[in-house]
Structure 1
Amino acid sequence: MAIFVLFLLPCSAQTGEHIDWPRWCGKAYLPPYPDFNPGGQVVEPPKLQHLSLNLRFKPRYNIFLADESEGEFFIHAEASRYYGFPWPYMEKDDDYWPSDVNFTITNTATGEVLIRNMLNSSRTVLKAASDRPVYRYKFDLGKFKPSFAPYEVTLHATPSFQNKHGSPSWLIEHNFSVKSEIYVLPSKAKGSITRIDNLSGGLLFRNSTPGSKFEPFFPYGFYARCEGFLCDKENYAANIKAYHSLKLKSMVPMMPASETSGHLYGTLDSLNMTYMYDLRQSYKNHSAVREQVEAIKDSDGLYAYWTFDQPDGHSATHVPMWTASSLIKKIDPYHPIAVSLSCDNYYFEEYTKAADIIVADVHPIGASMSASKWHTNCNTTYGNCGCDNCIGNVTDIPTRLGHIAQFERWLNHWPKPKMQSVQARPGGENHLPASPSADEVIAMSALAINHGAKGILPWAWPVDDEITALHSKFAAVMNKGIVKEILSKTTPKRFQLKKHKLLDVSYWLFNRTLMLSVVNLSKDSYVGPLKFDVPHIEPISIQHVLWGNASWDHREVELGYGMKLRAFTLDPMSTNILVSMVCCENYPSLSEDFD
């Protein structure tokens, strides 16, 4: 009987607003659903007997438009112990290097060749360390007719081995093929379009204003409640305008489109507000999904569909999710679909299959105190009490994002964009007994960005004046043109100060512009000066201190050593972000991994 009650609690949350019950995350549920396989956890795959060539490919964007003339494919190739195909001389010795790869990419249905080229395996594949692609090839997009359905494409690879011993005839046995898909959609005059850059994982957004182009897009906006905000019939417009005046340009309205709420979305569109549309209550009802997607798909502010909310925490079945996603794509392939996950590792592959964007829903502050509130024990039978496998501090944010990236690697998936649901509401939110401090609020957002998040979604508006002011100021920084461009078009690179392991540091480099973000996780101050010896980068000027009260300078700290950034006095649990120009005019741009 006790287990039956545990099963009902999470499911009841599906019919109301987002509620962080103590999640079970698969540790105990009844009955098992037919589409659930035993296990449910992503684990490190078994190692292959021999090093193999692992090759994946994707189009540059998840969607192209018919009025574009040129397409591009990215190829990720690596020597792998987990996935791939046997390849000549992959285990290199003194005489042989891995064979280069002759390949073609074709339209699977027609056999038409889109690209014919070669990968130089010996130079790049053995050194590949990134999840992102290492090769790019352009092709004529006009070879595809516009269609709402994706085209399947095939990459066929054959060895191209040449050395002093000649080319062995048995290389033909190593041929293999891998598949992907490409959307080439009809041009769209009405409403917005969002597409995903498969190089950086960033988003690009375009509205229907004549002459508008795809622009870098970094959504930073609250989940917004119906009660006391959006459902106030007399004051909803004033409420939304007040929200917008705080430099908050994005939102996740928790209110479906209907005859009575259409004015709300019209107000958002009129203010050029972007929003993720909430379908989480409707995804099991195909008629409701169709009706709402048809009603909202041509809006100017729509950037994505929030279709699945913590399905892992509710032990929701997978098939209805997959079916809903397929239906949405048929009606509106111009906008991506998001899923928010509360569990650390529970049927990750199945719950993310139906989504284009993964939202990490981690609210750690006070999680360790939740057991007393819910009168339950936190153990492997009864669940996680608010934050699955969490320590209960801000480091749970990068830990969860790191786990998601690891699971994608273990599954051999192309990495999807990640966003972070950030704990922001003070105590009394109804699910956690403690609230983050002001410093923790910003630290959690900055840590998510440091570890690759492509959007920040605080839970939930309205909040108190202090939290409002913090997010207003931080969102204004993230909405700056150069910051949006950096975060959308590049991926963060990690940097460790050997003697200061409690400093979480990431940097981005885009067209010789460096952005550096430092979060001090310590309870103590660092007085400094702290030298940030970012590899192969020499700053020549500090352009903007975007956030934080640390003092910065740049100088040649050792003769002949080159210019380095230095920081003074990093306060406990503080965040500091700056933008610097780097040397020199002929310095190579590292804006993309290929350079």
Structure 2
Amino acid sequence: MNLYTPGDGKGSFIIDTKISYIHGEPWEITDHNSQSLDIELSIGEAKLHLTHSVFVNTSSNELEFPLHGLAPRFEPYRVTIRANRPDGSHAYSATTDLYHLPERIDGGSITKLDSLYGGLLVQDYTKDSSWSPLLPYSYYVSWDGWLEKSLSNVQIFKDQGYNIIHIVPNAGLANEAFNFTELKMFLDKCDEVGLWVMYDMRWTYQNLTSVQYQVDLLKTHKSLLLWYTGDEPDGQGDPLNATKITYDLIKSLDPWHPVSLCLNCYNFYYEEYASGADIILSDVYPIAVNTSWSTVYDTVCNTTYGCCGCDDCHGDMEDISNRLDIFAEYQSWVGNLPKTFWGVPMAFGNESYWTRYPTAAEEVTMTMLSLNHNAKGIVMWDYPTSNELSNITSKLSQVLASDRIARFFLGAVTVPLRVTGHSKIDVSGWRVEDRMLISILALQMPSWSNAVSIELPGGASVVKEVLWGSGGWKLDKGLLVKEGGHALETDIIVVEFDA
């Protein structure tokens, strides 16, 4: 976890020893897969010393440690790791920070970020204090366009099944934020009904005085889930250090909640802007858009010039998955801690670059494609939306916002599964104990009539449940098989494995 609290009895470190050709210290043994490292790990003044052995070129090695010897405090514990070759010929070292924070005494909530799988853990303050995974599924919601019109809209939104709400501030106000008297009533209502809040400071995040005022005003609300600072700071050309400066200030004021921002560009100073957040959102809008000629500016769009509303896109579904994959790759190149990524599916249309709204099938595909490529949250732009999209996303929320399904998406590695029989089907799985959740997406293409098969890990025994879609997938000698299907078909199923 990115932080621990006094109720935690133990924690764990994640040790990665992947071979890198970009950063690190030289490793001169060619047969590195058979090599091991002896690990010595120490925690500052706590005098906690741990030893372990891991193989080279592996990741996600967990080393548990007790927390009882680490007094809760706001200052992080400095952790040093030393990795020695067994023959003693070389040693490698790295450092990190461990946060064991005091309990909150102001009534506010705590959001933990799982550094292994990238998900959020929260306490349901309306029921009990146990920690549960939360897969955010919701919209950016217009404050002045809808929310502030009636306090009952909070309950209406909650009743549609969404588990968080991202409130978009009112740029028309003098403070470029909110009427804070009205906002307090809104947050009190969210506290009451148990609707998590993603708080947006897009217009004010570079005004540090305003940021401090807003954080101090809101940080004790039980419904506060996380902060949101820059909205497309790369596309806006904000100062490269702006997001990090604000991140450091927020963390000094509120260490209990993560900070997020949304990046718009394929790669415009990714490292600098991403350094200012724990969670990076990606808003790729590929539906009904001309990606080669700007209908707004009447200019060409290519890799170096022009704005077509979707940076370096081809106008197909793969734009979404490609962007999430490349962001993860950038983060590995940077060499810092991994980031969590969320998707921002398009839920608007008939404006600027986009000639229509997505269809219901396109909306579901964009959402599930993001999750298939390791997004750990979905916040669509924007609400209110069309009746068609409102209906389908409310229906999908019954699946994605449930605790049972969140435990798959947030409790296991995202595993791409190999497909034969069609090149335009995207499949990923998440296995927890003897069951695997599988998401099967037919991307933009004509319907097909031939047999398609999906390779599963050994031991798959039965299709236990169909959570979404028409089904029709059957197990045959360890393969998921189906004959025929239609464009933009989405199936979410659970497969059981032999014990």
TM value normalised by structure 2: 0.93
Match of 2:30 in 1: 91
Matched residue SS, 1:474: helix
- Answering whether residue 165 of structure 2 is matched by residue 251 of structure 1, we say yes
Match of 2:15 in 1: 75
Change (3 A) 1:136 1:394: same
User: C-alpha displacement at 1:134, in angstroms?
Assistant: 3.2
Cα offsets for 1:286-335 (capped at 9, x unmatched): 22111111111121221110111100001100233222111110111111
Partner of residue 508 from structure 1, selected from 424, 427, 430: 430
Q: Which deviates more, 251-260 or 284-293?
A: 251-260
Matches within 5 A, 1:59-208: 61-87=1-27, 90-92=29-31, 98=35, 100-108=36-44, 110=45, 112-121=46-55, 125-126=56-57, 128=58, 133-161=59-87, 171-172=88-89, 174-189=90-105, 190-208=107-125
Matches within 5 A, 1:227-242: 227-232=144-149, 236-242=150-156
- Distance in 2, Cα, partners of 1:368 & 1:97: 51
Match of 2:364 in 1: 442
Cα offsets for 1:8-56 (capped at 9, x unmatched): xxxxxxxxxxxxxxxxxxxxxxxxxxxxxxxxxxxxxxxxxxxxxxxxx
User: C-alpha displacement at 1:63, in angstroms?
Assistant: 0.6
Change (3 A) 1:468 1:113: same
User: C-alpha displacement at 1:563, in angstroms?
Assistant: 4.3
Matched residue SS, 1:79: coil
Match of 1:565 in 2: 480
Change (3 A) 1:550 1:570: farther
- Distance in 2, Cα, partners of 1:92 & 1:379: 43
- Answering whether residue 356 of structure 2 is matched by residue 417 of structure 1, we say no
Larger RCO of the pair (alpha carbons < 8 Å, separation 6+): 1
Matched residue SS, 2:389: helix
Change (3 A) 1:362 1:468: same
Partner of residue 414 from structure 2, selected from 492, 515, 521: 492
Cα offsets for 1:559-594 (capped at 9, x unmatched): xxx4433234321121111112211x2xxxxxxxxx
Identity of aligned residues (%): 28
Please identify which structure carries the higher strand content: 2
Match of 1:304 in 2: 226
- Distance in 2, Cα, partners of 1:440 & 1:371: 23
Q: Gaps (5+ residues) in structure 2? A: 170-176
Partner of residue 261 from structure 1, selected from 180, 183, 196: 183
Partner of residue 526 from structure 1, selected from 448, 453, 474: 448
Match of 1:549 in 2: 470
Cα offsets for 1:335-394 (capped at 9, x unmatched): 100010000111101001010000011111133266123323323554331111100121
- Distance in 1, Cα, partners of 2:459 & 2:326: 29
Match of 1:388 in 2: 311
Change (3 A) 1:228 1:210: closer
- Answering whether residue 290 of structure 2 is matched by residue 368 of structure 1, we say yes
Matched residue SS, 2:348: coil
- Distance in 1, Cα, partners of 2:143 & 2:86: 61
Change (3 A) 1:568 1:296: farther
- Distance in 2, Cα, partners of 1:159 & 1:65: 35
Match of 1:579 in 2: 494
TM value normalised by structure 1: 0.78
- Answering whether residue 300 of structure 2 is matched by residue 377 of structure 1, we say yes
- Distance in 2, Cα, partners of 1:509 & 1:327: 38
Deviation >4 Å, runs of 4+:
none
User: C-alpha displacement at 1:544, in angstroms?
Assistant: 2.0
User: C-alpha displacement at 1:531, in angstroms?
Assistant: 2.8
- Answering whether residue 137 of structure 2 is matched by residue 220 of structure 1, we say yes
- Distance in 1, Cα, partners of 2:34 & 2:490: 46
Asked if the contact 1:105–1:113 (Cα under 8 Å) also holds between the matched residues in 2, the reply is no
Q: Gaps (5+ residues) in structure 1? A: 1-60, 162-170, 586-595
User: C-alpha displacement at 1:281, in angstroms?
Assistant: 1.6
Cα offsets for 1:91-148 (capped at 9, x unmatched): 239xx953x322222234x3x5434323243xxx24x3xxxx3321111213322222
